[in-house]
Amino acid sequence: MAKLTMKWIEIVALLKDRKKIVERLQRCEIVEFSDFQDEALAKMNTTSHVAHLEKNINTAVEAKEILNEYAPTKKSMLSTLNGRREMETSEFGKYVEQRETYLKICYDLINLKKVITENRAAIIRTQTLMDALKIWLDLDIPMQFKGTKYTRCFVGVVPKKRTSEDILLEIAKINPKLEMIHVEVVSAYKEQSCVTIICHNEVADETSEVLRQIGFVFSSDPTKHVPIIRMQRYENELIKYNSEIDESINKIKSYADRIDEIEFLADYSILRKEKYIALNKIGLTKNTFIISGFIPEKYAKKCIYELETQFTAAINLTSPSENEDVPVLLENGEFSAPVESVAEMYSLPGKKDIDPCAIMAFFYYMFFGIMLSDAGYGVLMVIGTAIALKKFNIEGSMKKTLKMFLYCGISTVFWGALFGSWFGDIVPIIYEQFLHIDAPNMALWFEPIKDPIKFLLAAFAFGIVHLFVGLGVSFKMAWDKGQKLDAILDVIPIYIFVLGVAPLCAAVLVSVPTAATTIGKYMAIAGVALIILTAGRKSKNVFAKLGLGLYGLYNVASGYLSDILSYSRLLALGLATGSIAGVVNLMGSMPSNLVFKGILLTIVFIVGHPLNMAINLLGAYVHTNRLQFVEFFSKFYEGGGRAFHPLKVNTKYIKFKENN
Amino acid sequence: MNDYGIVLAIFGAIAAALFAGIGSARGVGMVGEAAAGVVTEDPSKFSKVLILQLLPGTQGLYGLLAAVLLLSQIGLLKGELIPLTMAQGFQYFIACLPIAVVGYFSAIAQARTAVAGVGIVAKRPDQSGKAISMAAMVETYAILALLISILAINGLK
């Protein structure tokens, strides 16, 4: 259970089988293709294929988004947890034959969406025009109307709000023959008024001059018809646009049951794209081809057997050389596999590293539990994750993450019970305030809030154990490599030193038996001496040895002090959950009337605890990671490994039913 | 004169909740602004940036924690105030300062790291774990300050 051993595989087979063999390997998901570099061999250029398939993928994805927008399938939030649906190979073949039809559906959908977008834009355009026309609605002549044989007509706007009298008054200043002029205000607003002025030809020029002076302008978009007719036309256009949109939406909706087929097209295109990328990497001769790549040793035998029996192929398996960039694949048991993603988040194990998951898992769950530290929340986590795992068909990393939270939840219940926290102090509150009897002691160990010093020391103790385990791993790694002296001298003095200093520091906070401090004193001195004497052993100069020794001591002392202090976050987060839960309960139990208290407590409980749980879950997750990454990994782990990326069925919606 | 002791002690509790809370509020706000930008481009990154946004929020909790601890210790929560001398009140006040001050500044420093982390999520969503780890580094100092405040408050019993 750890890093899988990788082998270098070379497959030579007949050219005519190349697609079948690559497809076979894709289904097995165990070979990472390497780009075969040899000038003597030809390469197949698949770039145009890949580009074409990428276009298909994008088309399908876009079509699916359109379908989701207009005809969303009713799915609960939780059902998104469901993994890919299974598909028989025979069914797959049937779908493949229909792929052109599916592509056509996708293009149809995209075109329909385009129609909708265009019509929506047209609607906005028309509405703007309608708004501009609205002020002219009361006009019962066309806005272009210029007059009759004996009259002139002016249709336009003047600034400011004016009545017909205002305008007549202005005109009267120059031309007193008002009986020859008729002024009508169509509509008036604060900024402008729409006016129609009809006058006899005799006074037309003067009137025009007056109007110019008061800022009259002809309407910028004059109508050929009476405005109301133009308005009706606009309204008809709107109806047309809307009906086109409705029609398109209905057409899109009619495709709702084709979503499976669109998903198939996306997946099928992804499959083929990956295949073509892989095909690009193989070397070709006239009649044969060669695939080279990495394969986990564990699965190699079965794969070779299958290929050799089904095809004419020569397969060669070798161990990769030392300086080869070998990819890393982790495989762990039920208990430690869930934390693989945490290790991956930091970095995959490098060449010299071991797989840290197995050692890390126990501490991970433990620290998470101490930080969340509320049994009630733990129970909720366990129930939630267990239901999700049982009810939904969850795959891959999501499944691992849920399992991790399941184990973390179990650990939280354990620690919460030790600290006596079940949704904070809800049990004592119910006992004391509703039943009026003394609450039983909830804590199986002790209540952190009543004795934070004890909690702090416990946290440091857990931290020391954690660090020592990390150091122990580095000891074993050095020992196995044959550097036995280094293993002993790099680790043992630190053990002695830290174990010696620990009781001395604890004595500052609590009373420690004198025997312990005395032993501690001697161990600390011995540790200091050992570190000074051995840390500089690689140097030949005596003074350099001493200098490096002192420097080593400084590093150990400051490094371990800060590392161990860092575990105080167990206390901080552990206390935070319980006390904020306590505040929630306190808020709920403020009324003295029992009925009110019951109602308020229920409401506050239902709202407050999930919030507190969410915040503290996040805190526990982040800080548990940190303790692993910074304090633990720094003792033995380097990382820098490259993830194993086999050619595989990298689909989103469907997977093949394996006929084993 | 006894009353002033209580006043000072409550002052301390309020300062812890106040400054750590303000720091967290500013911090969460800062990251939220950056996170919203990412979500407009790609709504699927919501959960990742949400985690980053919440990170500077813990300082406010620590301030609250210290305040609650102090208030419960001087009996305010049960309504039975324990008389404090001026000196005792002042001691409680001082004990709250680490988490009040460090809480404020570390929340903002952490928020800056988280804002930078939002940038990581925007460009390389697969590396979001590293962004979270970096922001979590800053929190250590808020935790240490809280530790001292709690130990001091607890020790004054």
Chain A residues within 8 A of B70 when measuring between CB atoms: none
The whole domain housing A207 covers 137-222
Is it the case that residue B1 has pLDDT exceeding 70?
no
Confirm or reject contact between A584 and chain B (CB < 8 A): no
Per-residue 3-state assignment (H helix, E strand, C coil) for B84-132: CCHHHHHHHHHHHHHHHHHHHHHHHHHHHHHHHHHHHHHHCHHHHHHHH
Confirm or reject contact between A544 and chain B (CB < 8 A): no
The whole domain housing B106 covers 2-155
- Between the alpha carbon of residue A181 and those of residues A148, A222, A411, the distances in Å are 14, 22, 95
Is it the case that residue A473 has pLDDT exceeding 80?
yes
pLDDT at residue A81, as a whole number: 63
For the segment A627-637, the average pLDDT, to the nearest whole number, is 89
Tell me, yes or no, whether A658 lies in a domain: no
Confirm or reject contact between A576 and chain B (CB < 8 A): yes
pLDDT at residue A1, as a whole number: 46
Element (H, E) at A619: helix A594-626
When divided into structural domains, chain A yields a total of 4
Place of tokens 């001292």: B148
d(CA A392, CA A410): 20
Is it the case that residue A659 has pLDDT exceeding 80?
no
Which residue in A582, A586, A615 is closest to B61 by CB distance?
A: A615
Which residue in B54, B147, B154 is closest to A572 by CB distance?
A: B147
pLDDT at residue B135, as a whole number: 87
Confirm or reject contact between A564 and chain B (CB < 8 A): no
Q: What is the CA radius of gyration of chain A?
A: 40
More confident position, B20 or A85: B20
Where is average pLDDT lowest: A463-467, A655-659, B128-132? Answer: A655-659
Q: Do A455 and A569 fall within a single domain? A: yes
When divided into structural domains, chain B yields a total of 1
Q: Please, which pLDDT band fits residue B81 given cuts at 50, 70 and 90?
A: confident
Q: Do A484 and A457 fall within a single domain? A: yes
What is the CATH classification number for the domain harbouring B31?
Answer: 1.20.120.610
Q: Please, which pLDDT band fits residue A658 given cuts at 50, 70 and 90?
A: low
Element (H, E) at A39: none
Q: Which DSSP category does A255 fall into?
A: T
| A positions 339-358 inside 8 Å of B (CB) | 345-346
Q: Can you read off the two tokens belonging to residue A331? A: 């495989």
d(CA B65, CA A142): 76
Confirm or reject contact between A611 and chain B (CB < 8 A): no
What residues contact residue B62 under an 8 Å CB cut-off, 6+ apart?
A: A572, A576, B20, B99, B103, B142, B143, B145, B146
pLDDT at residue B3, as a whole number: 79
Q: Can you read off the two tokens belonging to residue A280? A: 């690009």
Is it the case that residue B77 has pLDDT exceeding 80?
no
d(CA A3, CA B117): 30
What residues contact residue B23 under an 8 Å CB cut-off, 6+ apart?
A: B56, B59, B60, B103, B104, B105, B106, B107, B108
d(CA B50, CA A17): 50
For the segment A195-207, the average pLDDT, to the nearest whole number, is 86
pLDDT at residue B118, as a whole number: 93
Q: Please, which pLDDT band fits residue A519 given cuts at 50, 70 and 90?
A: very high
Tell me, yes or no, whether A495 lies in a domain: yes
Q: Do A181 and A247 fall within a single domain? A: no
Taken in order A426, A427, A431, A432, the sign of the CA dihedral is: negative
For the segment A459-481, the average pLDDT, to the nearest whole number, is 94
Is it the case that residue A475 has pLDDT exceeding 80?
yes
Q: Do A371 and A437 fall within a single domain? A: yes
Q: Do A488 and A611 fall within a single domain? A: yes
For the segment A503-512, the average pLDDT, to the nearest whole number, is 86
Tell me, yes or no, whether A434 lies in a domain: yes
Where is average pLDDT lowest: A148-157, A391-400, A613-622, B94-103? Answer: A391-400
The two beta strands, A327-328 and A642-643, are parallel
Q: pLDDT tens digits, residue range A278-313?
A: 888 888 888 888 988 999 998 888 888 888 888 888
Do B150 and A575 lie within an 8 Å CB cutoff?
yes
What is the CATH classification number for the domain harbouring A142?
Answer: 3.30.70.2750
What is the CATH classification number for the domain harbouring A309?
Answer: 3.30.70
Do B129 and A346 lie within an 8 Å CB cutoff?
yes
pLDDT at residue A660, as a whole number: 43
Q: Can you read off the two tokens belonging to residue A552? A: 């080593």
Confirm or reject contact between A582 and chain B (CB < 8 A): yes
Yes or no: say if A415 and A575 are a contact pair by the CB < 8 Å rule.
no
Q: Do A493 and A431 fall within a single domain? A: yes
Place of tokens 């002809």: A218
Q: Do A317 and A401 fall within a single domain? A: no
Measured in degrees and rounded to the nearest 5, phi and psi for residue A637 equal -115, 135
- Rounded-to-10 torsion of CA B91, B96, B100, B101: 50
Tell me, yes or no, whether A403 lies in a domain: yes
Q: Can you read off the two tokens belonging to residue A467? A: 């660090």
Q: Please, which pLDDT band fits residue A464 given cuts at 50, 70 and 90?
A: very high
Where is average pLDDT lowest: A115-119, A186-190, A321-325, B58-62? Answer: A321-325
Q: pLDDT tens digits, residue range A138-160?
A: 888 888 888 888 898 888 888 88
DSSP A554-570: HHHHHHHHHHHHHTHHH
d(CA A318, CA A11): 12
Q: Please, which pLDDT band fits residue A495 given cuts at 50, 70 and 90?
A: very high
d(CA A319, CA A297): 9
When the pLDDT of each residue in chain A is averaged and rounded to a whole number, the result is 88
Is it the case that residue A78 has pLDDT exceeding 70?
no
Yes or no: say if B106 and B23 are a contact pair by the CB < 8 Å rule.
yes
Q: Do A451 and A500 fall within a single domain? A: yes
Is it the case that residue A390 has pLDDT exceeding 60?
yes
pLDDT at residue A75, as a whole number: 64
pLDDT at residue B125, as a whole number: 83
d(CA A643, CA A633): 19
Q: Do A145 and A118 fall within a single domain? A: no
Q: pLDDT tens digits, residue range A233-253?
A: 999 999 999 999 999 999 998
pLDDT at residue A166, as a whole number: 84
Tell me, yes or no, whether A657 lies in a domain: no
Is it the case that residue A410 has pLDDT exceeding 90?
yes
Tell me, yes or no, whether A660 lies in a domain: no
Chain B nearest-CA residue for A612: B61
Is it the case that residue A80 has pLDDT exceeding 70?
no
How distant is the Cα of B90 from the closest Cα of chain A, in angstroms?
A: 22
CB atoms inside a 10 Å sphere around CB A193: 23
Where is average pLDDT lowest: A30-44, A170-184, A515-529? Answer: A170-184
Chain A nearest-CA residue for B157: A450
Tell me, yes or no, whether A94 lies in a domain: yes
Chain A residues within 8 A of B57 when measuring between CB atoms: 615
Measured in degrees and rounded to the nearest 5, phi and psi for residue A35 equal -70, 115
